[in-house]
Each structure stands twice: as structure tokens, then as C-alpha cells.
Amino acid sequence: MPDAKPEPPIATLLRQAGYDLPAATLADLDRAHGLLQAMLARLPGTAAEAELATVFHPDAAR
Amino acid sequence: MSLPGVAEAAALFRARKLSPVELARECLARIARLDRGLHAFVTVTEERAMADARAAEARLMRGAALGPLDGVPFAHKDIVATAGIPTTACSRILRDNVPSADANVAARLAEAGTVLLGKLTTHEFALGGPSFDLPSPPARNPWNAAHFTGGSSSGSGAAIAAGLVPAATGTDTMGSIRSPAALCGITGLKPTYGLVGRGGVFPLAQSLDHVGPMARSAEDCALLLQAMAGPDRSDPASAGRPAGDPASALAGGVTGLRIGVVRRFHEQDNRGSPAALANLEAALQTFRDLGAQVANVELPPLADWHAVAATIMLAEAHGIHGPWLRARFSEYGALFRERVVLGAAISSEHYLAAQRRRRVLCTTMAEAFTRHDLLVTLVQPGEAPPIEGTPRWGVLELGSLAAPFNVTGGPALALPTGFGEGGLPTGMQIAGPAFADALVLRAGHAFQQATDVHRRWPALAA
């Protein structure tokens, strides 16, 4: 009997995010996940100090 | 007859050479004759159109026209809410959705007197096409129906190019106005972020989404922008300011304007086809001949802009669709669901890193605009590909030429430059700093006054 193919990393990620997807879909998403990771690698790391992306103005009109 | 554009229709109405009722009838007849093979419309509102047209005609006859859009046929992308008319986003998820109120932009255009012909095909929720597993088929390119329209405002591009309607709304998160404009040979403006309110338009990614006009010319887009722009209390990103009078500024020309060409984008990072590049060079020569100064500009690699845009888009889209995706995954089309579910794999660190990088890129672009009034690059690397062969994961693996201007939020106008090896249109985009929408339109108008590509029609529409 052949060894079972290991589950792709995206399967674990999506299960943890609340998805229960068929194996065929997960296999399709495996390649896309690789492309996504390559894209995310182009982003710089986060920093601890305050920055515009996390600034909140309590006196803003909205 | 070939269908008049917005400005041309207004002039014909004023001269009493054409009436809104005649034009609405002509559009409906063309839809009945041509749209069976194009699938640009998902809903045709014939009764509403004729009622709108009769009302406009009555106003014109008594000298009480509402403005240059009064009596002009129009259609909305099917993510723009229209009261009492199905607004489905071309998705099974919203198949029974009939809004009770118009979107801000639909209300503004109705108040300007436009004649509503119906709702236009979109990629599902404005992402992911062309799809063959949705309730309605994908739109087809009028220049060659075996080819893609671009998207996601696919029906808007096809309908205007085929002469089914002179103008329409589009939305643009990573190029969804500009891509179909370029591939269908029409003109489309992604306005400055916040200039056109998005209340009542189903979001894809709130910090990247724009609503804008699609039509046959920069002049038509300027007339439409004046009606579409302005404060929108239902959109927290609304800039709260009107567009000004971009139509009156059109005649300013480009003499003395400094145009920067972002060559690395279209020559290196996502290289254009020989015809697309040659047509772009010819357009740049036209700008030189008209008195502009054309120079090269250096910006960070396209992949950096694309990574920021795609990360933010997928994270925000998953934030919107996550609950539905978990419960109703199979009801979405495969392309949409398999792209957006990837947003679940984007962490908070990634999202914040993308927003941080976005700020840096915006600063870089702003610095470029201190040396150049406008920037020019391709919109798409070439002609529309065959509809059956579009890359499935393009959103992840290709550097979108349009996305940099969604990252910055500045205005970008797509317009045709010529035709490619396969006989389909090629296009360019003209981008400006935030709220320089009138300047971008002015440059586009100057180019279109000196050339005739935007006046050509596909054989089926002639």
C-alpha cells in the first residue's frame, strides 16, 4: 500500500481558519499558496513603534 | 449609425437632431441584436429606460435640461446598487438581492438625467474572471468574441466598445476599470481615491476600491466625473469634495507639461508586446509634438507595488467574504473562492507590513510627481488574450501594471493607443498626483484630439 501523500501546508492553515475544503481544492490551492508566499516575502518586516497604519484619531469626525 | 458618445449625444440633443427617446430605442435595439454574443448585460431595464428617456425628452423640449448628461443612456456594473433592480455581483450569493436604495453614484447619475438601460456583467464580486461557472456567462470582447474583455468591469468595457451604451460605471481595485478599457479600446478613469463616493457599491477591498466612469473618450469621462464626484456620507473614505469642472479644463492642452515614462514597468517588469510598445512610443511622440516634455522616471520594481496591492486586496476581500466563504464555499465560482480564501493565509503582520510599505511607495511616487506632472506606462502588456486561456493565478504571479495607482490612490486614465498583431486594441495609462483628475483628463483629451484610435469601432458595431 503506497504511503499517504502529506497534507499541503495550506490545508492546515485553512482548517485553523475554519474551512473544511475538499482534497482536490486544497491540492489546487497548494500551488497558489507557494505563489502567495513568494509575494509576501517581498514585504518588509513589521516594527514595534507606532506608525500610520495603526494610528487612531479619537477626535476624528467619523 | 454608430452610437454617439456622451458629449456628441448632448450636442445632438441641443441641436434637436436626435432625441433621448430615439437614442434609447437605438441602444435597446443594439442590445437585442448584439448582446446575445457578447453577454455584456445581465439585466436590461427597458421600461425604466423608456420612462427615463421620455422624461429627459420632455425636459429638453421645454428648455429645462438638467445638464450635459440629460437623456444620455447609461448602465451600471452589477455591483452598483440600483433601487428595485437586481444587483447580483454576478454571484449566486446575491442572486436574490434587490436593493431598496440607489448607490450614491447611481443616484447622482440619475439626478443628472441619465437614462438607465440596465446592469452590466462583472467578474464575480469584481474579482476572478473570466468564469464559466457563474449564473451568467462572461462578457466577450467586441473586437473578437473569442477573446477576453479584461476585468472586472468586463460588461462595461464590452458594452461601450460594441456601441450598446455610450457610458457606464466601472470599479477599480487593481485595474478593473483600466484593464477592460484598454483591452476593449475605450477610455476609463480611475479617479482619485475618495473623489467618487462608494456608498452602495459592493466592496472588494475597501482601501483600494474606486468607482469611476467608462466611456469612449476623455471628454466623456470628464462630463461623467463631474456628476459622479462629490461628498458621500455613506462612504467613510469620501474626500468630501466635488470634482470641480474637469470638462472646462480639457482644452488646456499639454504644452509645457512634464511627462515621466515609467519604462521599467512595461519594458522590464511586465514587458509589453512589440505592438503595445510601439503604439506607446507613438503616443509619447504625439505628446512631444503637442509640446510636452517627455522624460524617463525611475520607480521601485512593479513586483513591490503588486505585492502590496495583492496582499491588501486579498486580506480585505477575505475580511468581507470570510463568513460567506466558510458557510457557502461551493456557491461561489471557483476562480473567486479559490483566490479569496487565500486571504485566510495572510497574517496580521503581513497586512500591516503591506500597509507600511504602501506608505513608503506613496512617498516615492509623490517625489516623482515633484519632477513630473504626469506619468505614463502601459495598462496591459498587450492585446486581450483568448478568453479560454487567461492565467488562473495571475493575481499572484504577474505584476499588475495598473496596481501602482491603486496603491497610491492617484488618478489614472486608460485610453487606446492603437491595435496589436492580432487586431485587438492596445492601451496606455496616464496617471497624476492625488486630485489631479482634471489634468489627467486634459492630457488624455489632447491626445485624443490629435489622434483617432478612440473613434474606431469593431466591425460588429459599425
A48 touches chain B (CB under 8 A): no
Nearest 5°: phi and psi at B439? Answer: -70, -40
Q: How many pairs of residues across A and B have Cβ atoms under 8 Å apart?
A: 82
Quote the minimal CA–CA distance from A7 to chain B in Å: 16
Does a structural domain hold residue B432?
yes
In chain B, what residues touch A10 (CB-CB under 8 Å)? 342, 345
ipTM of the complex: 0.89
Phi first, then psi: give them for residue B322, nearest 5 degrees. Answer: -50, -50
CB < 8 Å from A in window 293-322 of B: 303-304, 306-308, 310-311, 314, 322
Which range marks the domain in which residue B67 is found?
6-302+352-461
Residue A61 sits at the chain B interface (C-beta within 8 Å): no
What pLDDT is recorded for position A1? 52
CB contact under 8 A, B342 and A36: yes
Residue type, B394: G
Please say if B154 is a catalytic residue.
no
Catalytic-labelled residue, pool B152, B153, B154, B238: B152
Predicted pLDDT at A4: 66
Contact A43 B396 (CB under 8 A): no
- If contacts are CB pairs under 8 Å, which of residues 81-140 in chain B contact chain A? none
Residue B333 lies in a domain: no
Which CATH number fits the domain that encloses residue B105?
3.90.1300.10
CA distances from residue A58 to A55, A61, B150, B232 in whole angstroms, order as listed: 10, 9, 42, 21
Which of B153, B154, B176, B217 does the annotation list as catalytic?
Answer: B176
**Which amino acid is present at B245?**
D
Domain total in chain B: 1
Q: Round to whole Å and give the CA distance between B257 and B446.
A: 12
Distance (Å, whole) CA B311 – CA B352: 10
Phi then psi dihedrals of residue B84, to 5 deg: 75, 0
Judged by a CB distance cut-off of 8 A, whether residue B366 touches chain A is no
Q: What is the pLDDT of residue A59?
A: 76
- Choose among B90, B77, B145: nearest CA to B117: B77
The verdict on A54 touching B (C-beta cutoff 8 Å) is: yes
Q: Is residue B323 part of a domain?
A: no
Residue with cell 488646456: B252
Residue with cell 487606446: B416
Tell whether B223 is covered by a domain.
yes
- Scan for cell 446575445, then name that residue: B36
Q: What does the alpha-carbon distance between residue B281 and residue B268 come to, in Å, rounded to a whole number?
A: 15
A4 touches chain B (CB under 8 A): no
pLDDT higher than threshold 80 for residue A48: no
B344 touches chain A (CB under 8 A): yes
Provide the pLDDT confidence category of residue A3 given band limits of 50, 70 and 90: low
How far, CA to CA in Å, does B434 sit from each of B108, B194, B312, B410, B456? 22, 10, 20, 4, 31
- Range scoring the smallest mean pLDDT among A25-34, A50-59, B98-107, B179-188: A50-59
H or E element, residue B348: helix B348-371
Task: With CB atoms and an 8 Å threshold, state whether A46 touches B355.
Answer: no
Of A17, A32, A54, the CB nearest to B393: A32
Tell me which chain A residues have a C-beta less than 8 angstroms from the C-beta of B314: 36
Does B273 participate in catalysis according to the annotation?
Answer: no
CB-based contact B178:B190 (threshold 8 Å)? yes
C-alpha distances in angstroms, B349 versus A30, B13, B205, B245, B265? Answer: 21, 56, 18, 42, 28
| A55 interface with B at CB cutoff 8 Å | no
Q: Do B350 and A43 touch (CB under 8 A)?
A: yes
Cβ proximity of B255 and B248 under 8 Å: no
| Strand-pair category, B168-172 with B258-261 | unpaired
Is the separation of the CB atoms in B10 and B72 below 8 Å?
A: yes
Q: Would you report the helix, strand and coil content of chain A in percent, each value rounded to 5?
A: 45, 0, 55
Give the dihedral sign, CA B215/B221/B226/B228: positive
Residues of A whose CB is below 8 A from B329: 19, 21
Distance from C-alpha of B215 to C-alpha of B269, rounded to nearest angstrom: 29
Q: Which of B303, B339, B357 is the closest to A44 by Cβ?
A: B357
Q: Do A43 and B308 touch (CB under 8 A)?
A: yes
Residues of A with CB below 8 A from B354's CB? 43
- Judge: B311–A40 Cβ closer than 8 Å, yes or no: yes
**Is B149 part of any domain?**
yes
Q: Is residue B392 part of a domain?
A: yes
Domain assignment present for residue B32? The answer is yes
Given phi > 0 = left and psi -120 to 50 = alpha, else beta, which region is B230? left
* CA pseudo-torsion sign B54, B55, B61, B65: negative
| Interface contact flag, A32 B396, Cβ < 8 Å | yes
Query: Distance from B359 to chain A by nearest Cα, in Å?
Result: 8
- What's the rounded Cα separation, in Å, for the pair B256 and B353? 39
In whole angstroms, what is the distance from residue B364 CA to residue B319 CA? 29
Q: Which chain B residues are closer than 8 Å to A31 by Cβ?
A: 393
The whole-number pLDDT of residue B66 equals 97
Buried b (16+ CB within 10 A) or exposed e, B55-90: bbbebbeeeebbebbbbbbbbbbbbbbbeebbbbbb
pLDDT of residue B391: 81
* pLDDT of residue A7 exceeding 90: no
How do the residues of chain B divide into helix, strand and coil, expressed in percent and rounded to 5?
45, 15, 40
Q: Which residues contact B124 (CB under 8 A, 6 or more apart)?
A: B89, B90, B91, B131, B134, B332, B333, B335, B336
Q: Do B356 and A32 touch (CB under 8 A)?
A: no
* Number of residues in chain B: 462
Residue B321 inside a domain? The answer is no
Residue bearing the bigger pLDDT, A3 or B207: B207
pLDDT tens, per residue, chain B with 462 residues: 689 999 999 999 999 999 999 999 999 999 999 999 999 999 999 999 999 999 999 999 999 999 999 999 999 999 999 999 999 999 999 999 999 999 999 999 999 999 999 999 999 999 988 999 999 999 999 999 999 999 999 999 999 999 999 999 999 999 999 999 999 999 999 999 999 999 999 999 999 999 999 999 999 999 999 999 999 999 999 999 888 899 999 999 999 999 999 999 999 999 999 999 999 999 999 999 999 999 999 999 999 999 999 999 999 999 999 999 999 999 999 999 999 999 999 999 999 999 999 999 999 999 999 999 999 999 999 999 999 978 888 778 778 999 999 999 999 999 999 999 999 999 999 999 999 999 999 999 999 999 999 999 999 886
B119 is catalytic: no
What's the rounded Cα separation, in Å, for the pair B151 and B395? Answer: 12
Contact A43 B344 (CB under 8 A): no
Euclidean distance between CA atoms B418 and B103, whole angstroms: 35
Size of chain A, expressed as the number of residues it contains: 62
Cα–Cα distance, B289 to B360 (Å, whole number) = 35
Sheet containing B293-296: order of strands = B41-44, B115-120, B73-77, B168-172, B210-215, B187-190, B412-419, B425-431, B374-378, B258-261, B293-296
